[in-house]
Structure 1
Amino acid sequence: MTIKRVFFALAFIVIALVAVLVIKMVSYPFQPTKKLKDHAKVYPYNGKAINRLAQAIRIPTISNVNYENTDFKPFNDFKSFLINSYPAIYKQMDTLTINKHGLVFKWKGKDATKKPILFLSHQDVVPISDYNFELDPTTGDRVFNLTNTETDSITEYQSEWKYPPFSGAVANGRIYGRGTLDMKGMLIAIMEAADELIAENYQPEQDVYFAFGQDEEVSGLNGAKKIAEYFKEQNIHFDAVYDEGGFVLGPKTVLKAVDKAVATVGVGEKGFLTVAIRVNGTGGHSSIPPKKGSLVLAAELAEKLNTNQLPATIIPPVANFINNIGGAMDFKSKLAISNQWLLGGVLLKTLENTPASNAMVRTTTALTMMHASDAPNVLSATTTLTVNFRILQGQTVADVLEHVKKQCEGYDTEIDIISQREPSNLSPTDSKQYLFLKDVIAKNYPNAIITPYLTIGGTDSYKYELVSDNVFRFMPVQINEYEQRLIHNDNESISIENYMRMINHFKLLMQQP
């Protein structure tokens, strides 16, 4: 009888617990998804706008890690292209060049007492590493060849790029070329939006600024940083700053369990620390190897760093993101999200299982380079291991450096910092600035769940925290997993539908009350 009572008591507790879990799930304030449309809004094609983006792509504004080695002629050509293509903008707006190539536009608003808003983009693009070009002896322009530098095979090369990367080819409902997604597509969309509004005799309520740096792909220290410092010196503080970062990600792109499109608005970005760890050991001839040379010791240390990573945690914007997308997930996921008091550990483990979601919940460790001997029969006395950390909010560069030192205990090492930056601030999501942006996104993407998000990569946005508390990272295009991989890759391209929506997005965003 006693055993039976214990059994019934346990059964009652289990049933009660399940009931509590289900009730909490049913009553949890997930963002509703039933009223979402099936498709994003479609706008008529604008041939003039398409042609101007194609022309912009043809100017190879490639930035260089060594800034002084940059070929600035294409940047001068790009500035001339903007002047010739948008005469109404140059007539209506005040323009300024910062540090020779950073472009700033000011569109005067009706009410000088209102804080201005700022739209960012960047002129530079990443290089095409295996794409040949020659300089025209007459004009000095780059002339691009369809030859792979390794194989000299035109056929093989063209199988990688459907169209030459600086052709601006328009085909199959897309515009092809380096910069279409990152970031000339967005830059030209901003210009097109303003050009259309000026043609409609529109004047913004507050001052509107554009800032287009020239070296975002290689740090932004000579472009965005200088422009942000100029704004600071002029005591200009922005109501909101809009830059690249998140996207509208198609169904099953954010997480496989989410079958709806998701508009991810970056409200912050991770910091970074890159260190070179020099591991000392015994060198000499390979015919008399020690038990563990420096390379073996470095490999052991690499395994330690990869295995003993900093702990995962769910920070506020990620918690907000999970809550918003939870309504489009399966029963098991909803149960875990709505009952984190009990199932938080399970949820965290689930997020750690895939690279994309793992990057949202922890400071990641990426072992990127290792160098030892330069000869096959020489044991190097030192091996250098390079590690890149992307730092989650709540942790600092000092925290990560301390973690590295702890992993290095027991090894003879020297640690050099190559680069570092603290995580960004987090912009508020209950502000009128964020809510207005959310409304604009909903007009073009009625098919998408709109949610704050943590931008994993770096952008120019970080530098503008000097002059605004509301910095939002969002490119208004809907892309799938394949299109995500086109950024910085072969066949980079943007659909014309996305480009048209992007123009409309900025047009709406510029018309702030």
Structure 2
Amino acid sequence: MKKFLLAILGILIILVAVLLIKTYIYPFKKNTSGTGEGWKPVKNDSAVSRLSGGIKIPTVSTGSLGEFDYAPFDQFKEYLKKTYPLVYQHTENVEVNKYGLVFRLKGSNPVLEPILFLSHMDVVPPGDADIKNNDQNVFRPDDKPLEPVAKVAEDWEYAPFSGAVANGRIYGRGAIDMKGMLFSLMESMNNLIKNKQVPQRDIYLAFGFDEEVGGKNGAIQIADYFKKKGLRFDAVYDEGGLIMRKGNVAGVGADVAVVGCAEKGFLSAKIKVKGLGGHSSMPPMESAIGKAAVIMQRLEDHQMKPEITPLIKEFFTNIGGAMPFTTRLALANQWLLKPVLISQLTKNNTTNALVRTTTALTMMKGSDGTNVLSPEVEFVVNFRLLPGNTVKDVRDHIAEATKGFDVEVEEIDNTREASAISPSNTKSFKLIEAAVKEIHPGAIVSPYLTMAGTDAGKYEIVSKNVYRFMPIKINSAEQQSIHSTNEYISIENYLKMIHYFEYMMINYDK
């Protein structure tokens, strides 16, 4: 017995030694980030004013796909022409499907594949909040007062389309998503032209106008336009990841710039469940709403299998060196601790979304009366597909969850597969890292999985290197303002974003 216990102890000692050795030799990326402040913004009231003016134009996309008021989009196009005459004069520029905008700045070497920067001019509605009076003044960057804002949507500090400049910020719907990026790209290209800096390869800008409702008439048409012209891009850059401030990525003691090298797929299903209707005084043993509840419980209790994909493994390898030892231990020893690691990841909403196709019950409709049993109940479930899972996998998953019930399943919105995964060992990715270090030397830069949908995936037909990243440093509260109230971008972030894109355009081939 003593020998047996000694043998067990010996095995445990060896196991612990193996775990420790593997942890210490695991190739976690060393953060070679600098400690300086990086490039410091120079006051530029004119650039701030141009973005402010663009925010004031309510280019809202809503309702049915592509069916919305285009008058503001006409106004926005004219505003860009008036505001950036140099860009219009010194580039080839075309309109695709009337409202999609494409600009081409010629490079000195036509043999090189061009690069493409994306944005979109449409924004989501500011919300249906009541309007109230507001006596606050809005200030220009030079602190000269503008006219008082007479009406401000409830819960907005400044009116959603005021373009207010105050507190070192530019307020309004679209300040981050995506007019801030659109105007920073126009500013960057304008600076290249003004300073007579000629890039080696052609630089394209492409701006869609219906990204928020799927991009069917905008990005899809623009990408098809490029394909028909026989264009291939060395890289495509769009929105997606951000620079998360230190402390906003749990367990990481540094700023983290997450670059979307892929994005999740999308499937929303409306499931109609049939049963017996009638008066609530004589209910059946199982109502339609009860049956729907069973199906919904199945969907939440038996979700699709979690998995640490190669992309997410690379993400953890990049940031793991800045994480606590116990986390590094689990990451370095997945051969033994993978079930424990996945269990911990799936307990957190954010990390759960990194490792599985998520299931979200979003809408439900039954009868309109408190004493009426509806013969049909419907609910909507939204899936965000992990790369590696397919739309067919999700359809099979729904079929399993609804087995034994009389249902109709209808896919709504824009069903799409998860995107391809763009490599991180390319010059086009390494330039992102260099440009981030230029403005935020202390940031860890890592490939990542973009959770939300973007226009980027539409351009896979013209490039294998598609990256989703907006170079602004924000905290969780600021991130929550996107598509919500009080959306704003700090002037510092905006000016640094201009410099970031200018850096990329100038240095791509250096």
In structure 2, the partner of 1:341 is 335
Shift of 1:235: 0.7
| Cα distance in 1 between the residues matched to 2:370 and 2:344 | 43
Which one-letter code corresponds to 1:346 in the other structure? Answer: V
1:64 corresponds in structure 2 to 62
Q: Which shifted more, 408-417 or 309-318? A: 408-417
Amino acid aligned to 1:218: V
Correspondence for 1:420: 415
Residue 90 of structure 2, aligned match among 79, 89, 92: 92
CA distance in 1, matches of 2:383, 2:457: 17
Shift in CA distance, 13/391, structure 1 to aligned 2, threshold 3 Å:
same
1:163 to 148, 158, 172: 158
Q: What is aligned with 2:505?
A: 510
Q: Distance in 1 between matches of 2:345 and 2:217?
A: 37
1:167, distance to aligned residue in structure 2 (A):
1.0
- 1:37 offset after TM fit, Å? 2.2
Match of 1:44 in 2: 42
| 1:489 counterpart = 2:489 | no
Distance (Å, rounded) in 1 between the aligned partners of 2:36 and 2:268: 43
Tell me how far apart the structure 1 counterparts of residues 66 and 309 of structure 2 sit (CA, whole Å).
Answer: 40
Cα distance in 1 between the residues matched to 2:109 and 2:381: 50
- TM-score, structure 2 as length reference: 0.93
1:4-403 pair list within 5 angstroms: 4-33=2-31, 35-37=33-35, 39=37, 41-67=39-65, 69-130=67-128, 146=151, 157=154, 160-254=155-249, 256-403=250-397
Superimposed CA distance per residue, residues 42-70 of structure 1 (whole angstroms, 9 cap, x where no aligned partner):
32221111111111111111112325641
Pick aligned residue for 1:445 from 440, 448, 472: 440
Equivalent position SS for 1:484: helix
Cα distance, 1:378 vs. partner?
Answer: 1.2
Change beyond 3 A, Cα 1:438–1:177: same
Q: What is the alpha-carbon root mean square deviation over aligned residues?
A: 1.5
Shift of 1:284: 0.5
CA contact (8 A) 2:160 2:486 kept: yes
> Size of the alignment, in residue pairs?
490
Q: CA deviation at 1:422?
A: 0.7
Which runs of 5 or more residues in structure 1 are unaligned? 134-143, 149-156
Deviation at 1:33, TM superposition (A): 3.1
Counterpart residue type for residue 76 of structure 1 = D
State the one-letter code of the partner of 1:50. V
Distance 1:69 1:132, change over 3 A: farther
**1:441 offset after TM fit, Å?**
1.7
| Aligned equivalents of 1:401, 1:34: Cα separation in 2 | 45
TM-score by length of 1: 0.93
Q: Does structure 1 residue 456 correspond to structure 2 residue 461?
A: no
SS at 2:363's partner residue?
Answer: strand
The one-letter code of the counterpart of 1:29 is P
- Residue number in structure 1 paired with 2:404: 410
Q: Cα 1:461–1:35, aligned 2, differ >3 Å: closer, same or farther?
A: closer
Q: What is the SS of the residue equivalent to 1:465?
A: helix
| Paired amino acid for 2:104 | K
C-alpha contact 1:45 1:497 (8 A) present in aligned 2: no
Paired residue secondary structure (2:253): coil
Q: Residue 434 and residue 280 in structure 1: after superposition, are their counterparts in 2 closer, same or farther (change >3 A)? A: same
Question: How many angstroms apart in 1 are the aligned matches of 2:255 and 2:371?
Answer: 55
Query: 1:404-425 CA distances to partner (integer Å, 9 max, x unpaired)?
Result: 1011112121211224111111
Percent identical:
47
Separation (CA, whole Å) in 2 of partners of 1:34 and 1:215: 40
Once the two structures are TM-superposed, the CA of residue 457 in structure 1 deviates from its matched residue by: 0.5
Range with bigger deviation, 407-416 or 184-193: 407-416
Question: How far apart, in 1, do the equivalents of 2:9 and 2:32 lie?
Answer: 36
Q: Give me the whole-angstrom Cα distance separating, in 2, the residues matched to 1:293 and 1:277.
A: 15
Give distance in 2, aligned partners of 1:368 and 1:329: 34
Residues 341, 81 of structure 1: alpha-carbon distance in 2 compared, 3 angstrom cutoff: same
Contact 2:66 2:210 in 1 (8 A): no
Alpha-carbon separation, structure 1, partners of 2:480 and 2:66: 30
- Offset at 1:163? 0.9
Instruction: Give how far 1:96 is off.
Output: 0.4
Counterparts of 1:303 and 1:487, CA distance in 2: 31
Structure 2: distance between partners of 1:340 and 1:238: 37
For residues 209-237 of structure 1, what are the alpha-carbon distances to aligned partners after superposition, in whole Å with 9 as ceiling and x for unaligned?
A: 10001110011101111100111111111
CA offset digits 1:382-438 (Å, max 9, x no partner): 111211111111111111101110111121212112241111111011122212222
Q: Distance in 2 between matches of 1:298 and 1:268?
A: 34
